[in-house]
Structure 1
Amino acid sequence: MGCDGGTIPKRHELVKGPKKVEKVDKDAELVAQWNYCTLSQEILRRPIVACELGRLYNKDAVIEFLLDKSAEKALGKAASHIKSIKNVTELRLSDNPAWEGDRGNTKGDKHDDLQRARFICPVVGLEMNGRHRFCFLRCCGCVFSERALKEIKAEVCHTCGAAFQEDDVIVLNGTKEDVEVLKTRMEERRLRAKLEKKTKKPKAAESISKSDVVEEAPGPSKVKAEKPEETSLDSREKKTNSAPRSAATNESSSGKAKKPPCGAMKRSIAESEESEAYKSLFTTHSSAKRSKEESAHWVTHTSYCF
């Protein structure tokens, strides 16, 4: 029997079986991982950064994600482990001289070879297209293939010469097992950093308190505290000894005797054999000691006004 119109249905059209699992094209997956940003799904352009799990991002997309404090963030799950810009590392990539980009297909009549990569390994020369495993160092950000790391074993970066450890090596776009290992390392590293901060805080507080105590009660040194009187006596003796020496040297150098002070001048004039009229000009004369009644109001013997 047939249906309306004389059509004869087949078994697969009437009986519904289990759906076939859709397989992801490997080539398309590799192109999406190595040529597009994981966060914004835009083409990767410099500066390119990588997180601690080995995923590639555009730096401006990461900054916008961190600045966006809204409740609904687009594609937030892909970068939920990025809390600050310090959690990503800017990559130092080596350009592929054989890559032309979009310049060769300006008219649209040429096939784009998606397997041709923009960047290569600077040590071995392998293209970074997903066919080969690549890694980068957290300490310097240099990118090279895993083959170069295994063939040329060294504790120093092959490109810049910076020292690194095994914990600094992060695989780019690794498998699920690689991501799990990197995740455990990331959690341990962050816990270690928190503990170091907690230990540094009490030490800083102790140092500040010690400095405050020293400033509030500054004490003299031991040498000065033992014999303060002796040092003062020595200094006084030095001053007294230096005074006559300096006077003697000045007299010898000049060759002339200095004028006596004012007191010596008064005594010498009073005791001299000058006339009484000359002596009466000074206050030491007996006439200056007369009372007001004895002296006339219009006569002044001295400079003082009575």
Structure 2
Amino acid sequence: MGCDGGTIPKRDELVRTKKKPEQKDKNSELSFRWQHCTISQTPLQSPIVSCGLGRLYNKVAVIEAILDRTNLPDVCQHIKSLKDVKDLQLTNNPSFKPSAEKGDAYIDRQTSPYICPVIGLEMNGKFKFVFVWSCGCVVSERALKEVKTKTCHKCQKPFSDDDIIIMNAEGDDLELMKTRLEARQARLRAEKKNKCEAKRRNKIAEQPIETAVSGSSNSTETNKPGDTSQMNECNALSSTKKGAVSVKAISKLIGTDPSKVIQKRRAGSIG
């Protein structure tokens, strides 16, 4: 029966079972996500940007994808322009070596080129990292929890809770980032609308002033410099009641006493 020599076959040698799917190395996958661009899958190179969902990109790849959206993956369809990404202010890792000094030297691929500027944790996916949307500074979540403040740990600029973006978020964190992204976009649209309305109101308020100024300038251009006083006197005379014009007003207008003019005319007619 094929069992010569006293060999005893086992069940797994006789029965074919379904093989288990090959499991991915989680550490390698995390390291790849934190060191490669989401769009081009190439190593991250400065300048590095991130979106409201915390994904990492090379800025050059983002610009190329915006110009030609056929190269934009489905996970990045929310990026419409450069306003949807933020330049990251990263802190270099002094112990990172991009290449070996000698040919047989060992290179640790898990070592990240960037660290937390507060407590020195490496940004390799083993620890949560966040960045502030208002300034782009990157710190670890542990540093943000240990030193509770509303100012950035790196540049000291103020921020709110909605400005905190969890980098490479997953699960519940990803849903939270989507909610904050929608709230931020709604706030920006409201601010833009209020700004346009305020600008329109200011423009309407300035229109009567401009009309009055233009009307006064036109009147000064039509009148001669010496006629302004006479025009004022005429306006004063026209505003008085009929038959109540004073002699002083008439003499001031014609430059002499009207009674003297009448006497001269009478003397001339008699002579």
TM-score, normalised relative to structure 1: 0.63
Structure of higher RCO (CA pairs closer than 8 Å, 6+ residues apart): 2
- Residue 183 of structure 1, CA deviation: 0.6
Q: Does 1:89 align with 2:86?
A: yes
Q: Does 1:175 align with 2:170?
A: yes
Q: Gapped runs of 5+ residues in structure 1?
A: 3-9, 221-227, 241-306
| Counterpart position of 2:58 | 58
Letter in 1 for 2:93: N
| Counterpart position of 1:299 | none
| Correspondence list, 1:6-25, <5 A | 18=18, 20-25=20-25
| Correspondence list, 1:67-86, <5 A | 67-69=67-69, 72-73=70-71, 76-86=73-83
- Residue 12 of structure 1, CA deviation: 6.8
| Counterpart position of 1:35 | 35
Q: Cα–Cα, structure 1 residues 192 and 13, in superposed 2: closer, same or farther, change >3 Å?
A: farther
Aligned counterparts of 1:14 and 1:84: Cα–Cα separation in 2: 61
Q: For each residue in 1:155-186, what CA deviation from the matched residue of structure 2 results, as whole angstroms up to 9, or x when unmatched?
A: 11111110011111111112221111101111
Q: Does 1:111 align with 2:106?
A: yes
| Secondary structure of the corresponding residue to residue 57 of structure 2 | strand
Q: Is contact 2:162–2:184 with CA below 8 Å preserved after alignment? A: no
Aligned counterparts of 1:210 and 1:19: Cα–Cα separation in 2: 78
Q: For each residue in 1:5-31, what CA deviation from the matched residue of structure 2 results, as whole angstroms up to 9, or x when unmatched?
A: xxxxx9879977555333221121112
TM-score, normalised relative to structure 2: 0.70
| Secondary structure of the corresponding residue to residue 104 of structure 1 | coil
Aligned counterparts of 1:206 and 1:195: Cα–Cα separation in 2: 16
Q: Gapped runs of 5+ residues in structure 2?
A: 3-9, 217-230, 237-251, 256-271
Q: Is contact 1:39–1:78 with CA below 8 Å preserved after alignment? A: no
Q: For each residue in 1:45-96, what CA deviation from the matched residue of structure 2 results, as whole angstroms up to 9, or x when unmatched?
A: 1111111111111111111111115xx325x213211111011111111111
- Residue 147 of structure 1, CA deviation: 1.0
| Counterpart position of 1:99 | 96
Q: Is contact 1:95–1:120 with CA below 8 Å preserved after alignment? A: yes
| Counterpart position of 1:205 | 200
Q: Is contact 1:120–1:126 with CA below 8 Å preserved after alignment? A: yes
Q: Does 1:192 align with 2:198?
A: no
Instruction: Work out the number of aligned pairs and report it.
Output: 220
Letter in 2 for 1:67: L
Letter in 2 for 1:171: I
